[in-house]
Amino acid sequence: MASSEKIALIARAEEHGFRPAIISSEGTYNYRQLLERSRQIALTLLDGREDLKEERVAFLTPRGFDYAALQWGIWRAGGIAVPLGEMHPVSELEYLISDSAASMVVAHPEFEAKLRAIARNLSLPFVLTEELLSPSQGSLPKIDPARRAMILYTSGTTGKAKGVVSTHLNIQAQVKSLVEAWGWTSEDYILHVLPLHHVHGIINVLTCALWAGARCEILPRFDPLETWQKFVERDLTLFMAVPTIYVKLIAVWEGGTPQEQELMGKACQKFRLMVSGSAALPVSVLAEWKAITGHTILERYGMTEIGMALSNPLYGERAPGSVGTALPQVEVRLVDDGGNPVGPGVSGEIQVKGPSVFLEYWQRPEETRASFHQGWFSTGDVAIVEKGIYRILGRKSTDIIKTGGYKVSALEIEEVLRSHPAIKECAVVGIEDPEWGERVGAALILESGEDLTLAELRTWGKRRLAPYKVPTRVVIVDDLPRNPLGKVTKLLLKKYFEITQR
């Protein structure tokens, strides 16, 4: 028989014993129960074999204890976890399962109808989660921490989604960096409202909590009313979300009575930290949240390939619109188009180096090689360093607009446009133009009862922006296309300008 596995996350969980680990719709489970359930799942997956040897196991369960137990079970059996998204359409699920070359598909009964058909089409074994709980005896394999552990798929905003492969060492480095930077302890209690097929929900919330021996309460889905109720009822210390979630929580607060508003505001005083990421946090939202709760939301920067790289400080000043400095054990630099490092005050592409950086794009060796330059991973994001702290200007491909010889940040323009009294929300993109290269286009959601013409917006904008930054194309929309984490999908947004103009 193989010797016992040595995954650091598992070893740490053994130290936490009967402490509560996960609170979900299934009940409250301690660390010992999580270890026992995941061991049972691992042995059933092995089915007499010594090691899954990095077989990919694609799985889909509701958010909760079952998810964590299954993910750990896959890891403990020596497999690579491929978490799927609850909101993915059938075509996307089939692509992810096929692209990852999964050896089996595991699903909760809630998703059986959707996934059993896909598994049949791909001639793959299909297993229900309840079938993984049969009594099993045996030993688990020893897991080299350098082995592949997980494949997470990027949002695919620039083409077909790519599988980002992380090793156990990558995951450990990502978690240890955040636990140190954000002061996680076993006394923490976090409310989890994020999807569990993205790095934000899997690493920043769930895995950090379980590494620290903390409590993690997982809601089956985000609901702003239920979230506020949990804020009031629970002795929570941490909350992490995306900007759209904070916007929806603010809307609930605004709709409350003075007594309800006071209760909600006081409930937030017991938190020690609130974090936002996955998309740019509007300065106006930051200010509104602080006025309601007294908390200055901590903004940070990361991506699927690197985990988190930059963060505002746990203690000390957090500059609005900035993402702070490099996290522990992470190296960050900015380079120009030629790959040469740039100095303060000069924009450049973010490159990252360190143990948290992913291993490879799954079965895409050429794209993997092209993404690394002398050991530095090129993120495709552009930033600038001002007074020692980083400010994100946007994606090189979609948020940096080249117009009339100037490089313009779409995020900067969006921040200014949000200050217009008639604009509720907006997104800015570059629209191809034969004369200017690109023109600045703005999609606007207006406040109820408001109207705004392009001429009025340009007159207002010229008092606040350089002339080449002022939008020359505008569309008024009811909603903006977003991915599951609330980030505007700008390639889809550009199509709005092909359909209508104003």
CATH of residue 132's domain is: 3.40.50.980
Give the pLDDT confidence of 202-214 residue by residue, as tens digits: 999 999 999 999 9
Residues of the chain below pLDDT 70? 1-5, 155-159, 499-502
Give the pLDDT confidence of 14-26 residue by residue, as tens digits: 999 999 999 999 9
Report the amino acid identity of residue 38.
S
Contact 125, 133 (CB under 8 A): no
CA distance linking residue 452 with residue 456, whole number of Å: 6
Domain end position, chosen among 109, 143, 177: 143
Residue 169 lies in a domain: no
CA 272 to chain centre: 21
Angle (CA) 179-181-186 rounded to 5° is 35
Contact 327, 357 (CB under 8 A): no
Cite the DSSP H helix spans in 112-242: 112-121, 168-182, 199, 208-212, 224-233
The whole-number pLDDT of residue 133 equals 85
CATH number of the domain to which 446 belongs: 3.30.300.30
Three-class secondary structure of residue 469 per DSSP: helix
The whole-number pLDDT of residue 43 equals 95
Could you tell me the residue range of the domain that residue 94 belongs to? 8-143
Q: Count CB neighbours of 110 within 10 A.
A: 12
Number of domains in the chain: 2
The whole-number pLDDT of residue 4 equals 52
CA distance linking residue 281 with residue 291, whole number of Å: 16
The whole-number pLDDT of residue 440 equals 95
Residue 482 lies in a domain: yes
Residue 478 lies in a domain: yes
**498 membership: H or E segment, kind and range:** helix 490-499
Structure tokens at 437: 């290269």
Residue 189 lies in a domain: no
Q: Any idea which residue has 């002022």 for tokens?
A: 470
- By CB atoms closer than 10 A (0-12, 13-18, 19+), residue 131 is exposed
Three-class secondary structure of residue 180 per DSSP: helix
Sign of the torsion formed by the C-alpha atoms of 283, 289, 290 and 296: negative
Sign of the torsion formed by the C-alpha atoms of 204, 207, 211 and 214: positive
- By CB atoms closer than 10 A (0-12, 13-18, 19+), residue 359 is middle
Sheet holding 360-361, edge to edge: 126-128, 104-107, 56-60, 80-83, 148-153, 163-167, 360-361
Residue 41 lies in a domain: yes
The whole-number pLDDT of residue 5 equals 62
Contact 428, 414 (CB under 8 A): yes
CA distance linking residue 105 with residue 114, whole number of Å: 11
Q: What DSSP designation does 465 have? A: S
Instruction: List the end-to-end C-alpha distance of the chain, in Å, as a whole number.
Output: 71
Residue 271 lies in a domain: no
Q: What is the pTM of this model?
A: 0.87
Q: Count CB neighbours of 426 within 10 A.
A: 23
Structure tokens at 142: 């020893």
Domain end position, chosen among 101, 124, 143: 143
The whole-number pLDDT of residue 160 equals 75
Residue 420 lies in a domain: yes
The whole-number pLDDT of residue 403 equals 87
CA 389 to chain centre: 22
Residue 131 lies in a domain: yes
Domain end position, chosen among 143, 175, 203: 143
